[in-house]
Amino acid sequence: MIERTLVLLKPDAVQREIMGKIISRFEDAGLKIVGVKMVWADTAFARKHYDEIGEVGKRRGEKVLQHMLKVLSSGPVLALCIEGVNAVENVRKMAGATEPKAAPPGTIRGDFSHTSFAHADQLNKGVENVIHASGSIDDATKEISLWFSSKELHNYKTVHEAHVF
- What CATH number is given to the structural domain containing 25? 3.30.70.141
Higher-confidence residue: 118 or 86?
Answer: 86
Percent of the chain with pLDDT over 90: 76
Q: Does residue 159 sit within a domain?
A: no
Q: Does residue 165 sit within a domain?
A: no
Give 57-102 pLDDT, tens digit per residue.
455 577 888 888 999 999 999 999 999 999 999 999 999 999 999 9
Neighbour order of strands in the sheet with 131-133 = 32-39, 77-85, 2-9, 131-133
Domain count within the chain: 1
Residue 56 has pLDDT above 70, yes or no: no
Catalytic positions are 132
Domain range holding 76? 2-148
Give the pLDDT band (50/70/90) at residue 53. low
**pLDDT attached to residue 58:** 54
Higher-confidence residue: 120 or 21?
Answer: 21
Q: What is the radius of gyration, based on Cα positions, of the chain?
A: 15
Q: Does residue 158 sit within a domain?
A: no
Q: Does residue 161 sit within a domain?
A: no
Q: Does residue 36 sit within a domain?
A: yes
* Dihedral Cα 31, 41, 47, 121, nearest 10 deg: 90
| 135: Cα within 13 Å, side-chain hemisphere | 8
Q: Does residue 156 sit within a domain?
A: no
Residues facing 26 on adjacent strands: none
DSSP code of 146? H
Q: Does residue 157 sit within a domain?
A: no
Q: Does residue 69 sit within a domain?
A: yes
Rounded-to-integer distance, Cα 108 and Cα 10, Å: 12
The bridge status of strand 77-85 relative to strand 2-9 is: antiparallel
Q: How far is CA 124 from CA 33, 61, 68, 99, 135, in A?
A: 35, 14, 12, 16, 25
Q: Quick check: 160 and 85 in contact, CB under 8 A?
A: no
Q: What is this structure's pTM?
A: 0.92
